Amino acid sequence: MSPHARKKAILPLLLAGAVGLAQAGTLSFTAALEQAERQSPKLAAINAQIDAARSAAISAGALPDPKIFAGIDSFPVSGPEAGRLQADFMTMQKIGVMQDVPNADKRRARKAVAAAGVEVAEARRRAERLAVRRDTAMAWLELYYLQRKEALFAELDLENAILTQTVKAQIASGRAQAADAVVPQQEAVEIADRRDDLSSAQAQARSRLRQFVGRAADDLLTGDPPNLVIDAQHLRGILHRHPELLVFAAETHKAEAELGEARSTKKPDWGIELAYQRRAPQFGNMVSIQFTFDLPVSPSTRQEPLIVAKQRELDRIDAERENMLREHASELESDLAEYVALSRQLERARQVTLPLLEQKVMLQTASYQGGKGDLAVVLMARRERIEQRLRIIDLENSLARVAARLYFAYEENAQ
C-alpha cells in the first residue's frame, strides 16, 4: 500500500476519534490528582478530625467552670431550738461560689497536649493526601499506557492489511503458495484476541481509577504524564521527611506533652470557696473564705504508675519510628535500583533493539517480495517487532510508576 493510500485508510479513524474527543470530557494527569484530592472520603474524615482537634484546643488549659453552692450550717436537730431555723445564733443560711484551680504545670501541659493533637491530625492529613495522589497517579498511568497499547494495535491492523495485499500479490505472481492467503487471517484473529485481553485490562484499570476520581474516570485521558526527575542523592538526604515518618514526629510531641501532664499530677491542685452566710435578724450576717489543696499522699501507687505508662508509650513511638525509618530506607534503595535498571533497559530497547528489529522486518519483507524468502520468517520478524514495541510501553509504564512512587513519597512532601 502506498503512503497516500495508507493516509486515506487512517483518515476516517482519525476523524472518528476527533468526533468522539469533542463529545467526551477529558482527564489529564494533574486534573486527576486534584479531583481525587477533592473527593477523597479519607481526607474528608481527617479534615473533620483536624477541625475537632482545633476546637478542643480552644478550651485546653482553661480553668474548670466555677460551682455555686447553697445550704444551711449548724441547724439544730435536738434541744430546745431543734427544728427552728432562726432560734440558734450559730444557724446560718449560706450561698457561695467555688473555683477549682489545677496547678500551672498541668494547665500548660493540657494546652501542649491539645496543640500536639492538632499537629498529629495535620501530619496524618499530609500523609493521606500524598497517598491519595500517589495511588491516583498509579491508576492514571496504568490506564494511560494501556491506551498507548490500544493505539499500537490499530497500527497492527493496518500492517496486517498491508501484509494481506502483499501475500495476494505474491500468489498472483506465482512467487507464493495459495495456502499463504490464510496466514494474514490467522494474524487478524490473534490480534483480535489480544485486543480483547487489552480491553479487559483497560476496564479493570478504569475501575481502579474510578475509585479515586469517580465518574471522571470514564473521560478520555489527555496529555502526557509529567517527566518526574529522580535524584538519588537528594532523595536519600530527605528520607527523614517521608510523610509517614513525620506522623511519628507529631505523635512524639503529643506523647511528650502527655508525659508532662502525668508528671504535673505530682503537684497539688487547689481551690477557693467564697460564701455569704445569713443568720436570724437578731444576729449579724457573715462572709467566709476557704482554700483547698490536694494532698498527693501516695505517689508510688497513683501518680508514678501513670508517669511510667506515658514514658513507655514514648519509648514505643520511638521504636516504631526507627523501625519504619529502616523499612523506608530499604524501600528507597530498592526503588532507586529498579529505577536505574528500568532506565537502562528502556534506553537499550529504544535505541538498539527496536531499530535492529525494524531493519530485520524490512529485509525479510523485501526478500519475500523478491520470491526468495519464507512467509513464516516474515511473520516471525513482525511478531518480534510487535512484542518489542509492546515491551517498550511496559517499560515506560514501569519506569513512570516507580518515579511517581518516589516523587509522591519524598519530593512533593519536601516541597
Closest to 367 measured CA to CA, from 387, 381, 383, 388: 381
pTM recorded for the entire structure = 0.77
- 137: domain CATH number is 1.20.1600.10
Low-confidence ranges of the chain (pLDDT < 70): 1-24, 87, 175-176, 411-415
122 with 143, same domain: the answer is yes
- Helix 303-348 / helix 243-264 crossing angle, nearest 10 deg: 170
* CA gap 368, 373 in Å, rounded: 4
Domain count of the fold of the chain:
2
pLDDT at 78: 76
Neighbours of 215 (CB within 10 A): 9
pLDDT at 415: 58
pLDDT at 168: 78
| DSSP secondary structure, 204-238, as one string | HHHHHHHHHHGGGGGSEE-SPPP-----HHHHHHT
212 with 239, same domain: the answer is yes
345 with 296, same domain: the answer is no
320 with 188, same domain: the answer is yes
User: Where is the domain boundary, 280, 300, 320?
Assistant: 300
* CA gap 49, 45 in Å, rounded: 6
Structural domain includes residue 107: no
91 with 126, same domain: the answer is no
279 with 351, same domain: the answer is no
Q: Cell numbers at residue 243, please?
A: 510523610
pLDDT at 91: 80
SS3 content of the chain, % helix, strand, coil (to 5): 70, 10, 20
189 with 284, same domain: the answer is no
pLDDT at 41: 92
Task: State how far Cα 159 lies from the chain centre.
Answer: 43
Structural domain includes residue 381: yes
282 with 407, same domain: the answer is no
The domain containing residue 85 runs over which residues?
64-101+267-300
* CA gap 271, 290 in Å, rounded: 8
Structural domain includes residue 248: yes
